Amino acid sequence: MEKKQMRILELYSGIGGMHYAAELANVGAEVVFSVDINTSANAVYRHNFKQTNQQARNIESLSAKEINKLRPDIIMMSPPCQPFTRVGLKLDVEDSRCSSFLHLLDILPHLETVSFILMENVVGFETSEMRNAFTKALKNCDFHFREFILSPESIKIPNSRSRYYLVAKKCTDFSFGSENDIMTSFPNSRLCDIEMPVQEKTLDPYLVKDMSDEELARYLLTDKTLFKYWRILDVRQTSDTSSCCFTKAYTHYAEGTGSVLQHDPNEPFHQKFAEFKEDEDIAHLKPLKLRYFTPREVGNLMGFPAEFTFPENTSLKTRYRLLGNSLNVLVVSNLLRILLG
């Protein structure tokens, strides 16, 4: 008899990072219902997953009765992170954006078929009141859980993106770790042996090749940006084995939002910047062709497959914002395999 396909309820679905993670994990699970309130994200999701029942809804409108009719085995979710971010007000459970998450905790005891949960959020969630409420609700419903803070670097992807993750399953405990500890690496497990689409550790395989002059011009840093922010730019070469986390403000703010790339690897970086410091003539920096990573390149580093695309009418600013709000597909895929293993 063919094994029953597990059913996923995808909440706060964004542009579909969890959905792609489930496909990559290849664990016999499919997304049967997807919910998000963000109009731009929903447009991208529907563009890529035309067959999925995806609805623009406030999650507070989901009742236990409606969810039970869907018969989900797994809930995968990435709730709003703003209540816990270092740049936010850190209102925690008092933030109105936590209300939908609190609603989920209220109906959790009444969800009849859910046996597994995978949740992602920002670093900082682990010390929040919301986290305490979440883990208390899980224990009350006979779930066992494990918490992680992981970066793609742990699976040799050259991008820093540390995030908090929680996996939970009902009735049976995990064979590794403890509920009292937060793990910072994957457990030693055959279940965490996903075949990586890209094996190389440098940035080069993730980059767009043969970029036309017209396309390159679209991503080059302006003279104004170079002159004003050259001291704080995180410049990477194609041979580098790391890059900074790309946030939703990438290209909009210069500091702390992501790395930029030296497009021409043959130019001497340190020499050009030394020449610029002498007379502050931007012409010295021009040969480096310093540019932003394209949305496709950011998506590559975040594990989105080649078939992932944006609708043509999605602006460049929106593409960066949506990617910055998303998650690393490969990290989540590994966690899902561990959860269901």
- How much is the average pLDDT of 54-69? 96
pLDDT of residue 93: 44
Distances (CA, A) of 133 to 140, 167, 292: 11, 15, 40
pLDDT of residue 254: 86
Which domains are delineated in the chain? 6-197+327-340 (3.40.50.150), 209-293 (3.90.120.10)
CB 76 within 8 A of CB 8: yes
Say what the pTM is: 0.92
For residue 190, the tally of other CB atoms under 10 A from its CB is 7
pLDDT band at residue 87 using 50, 70 and 90 as cut-offs = very low
* 81 labelled catalytic: yes
Active-site residue among 81, 141, 244, 245? 81
Residue type, 84: F
pLDDT at 200: 60
Is residue 152 scored above 50 in pLDDT?
yes
> In the predicted model, is pLDDT for residue 213 greater than 80?
yes
Q: Is 125 left (phi over 0), alpha (psi -120 to 50) or beta?
A: alpha
pLDDT reading at 231 higher than 80: yes
Q: Has residue 191 got a pLDDT over 90? A: no
Token pair in block for residue 78? 């990435």
Mean pLDDT to the nearest integer, 250-259: 92
Average pLDDT in the 198-208 region? Answer: 83
- The percentage of residues in the chain with a pLDDT greater than 90, rounded to a whole number, is 82
Burial code (b: 16+ CB inside 10 Å, e: under 16) for 41-69 equals bbbbbbbbbeebebeeeebeebeeeebee
pLDDT: is 317 or 94 the higher one?
Answer: 317
Please, which pLDDT band fits residue 189 given cuts at 50, 70 and 90? low
| Mean local confidence (pLDDT), 46-50 | 98
% of the chain surpassing 70 pLDDT = 90
Residue 9 has pLDDT above 60, yes or no: yes
What is the arrangement of strands in the sheet containing 6-11, beginning at the earlier edge strand?
Answer: 54-56, 29-36, 6-11, 74-77, 116-122, 163-170, 143-150, 182-183
Q: What is the average pLDDT across 153-179?
A: 95
pLDDT at 217: 96
pLDDT score recorded for residue 96? 57
Distance of CA 173 to the CA centre of its chain: 27
Residues 6+ apart with CB under 8 A from 1: none
Q: How confident is the model at residue 81 (pLDDT cuts 50, 70, 90)?
A: low
Q: What is the pLDDT of residue 84?
A: 43
Beta strand segments in the chain, E: 6-11, 29-36, 54-56, 74-77, 116-122, 143-150, 163-170, 182-183, 235-236, 260-262, 290-292
Q: Check residue 212 and report its DSSP letter.
A: -
The tokens of 144 are what? 């066992």
Cβ-Cβ contacts under 8 Å for 274 (sequence gap 6 or more): none
Question: Does the pLDDT value for residue 82 go beyond 60?
Answer: no
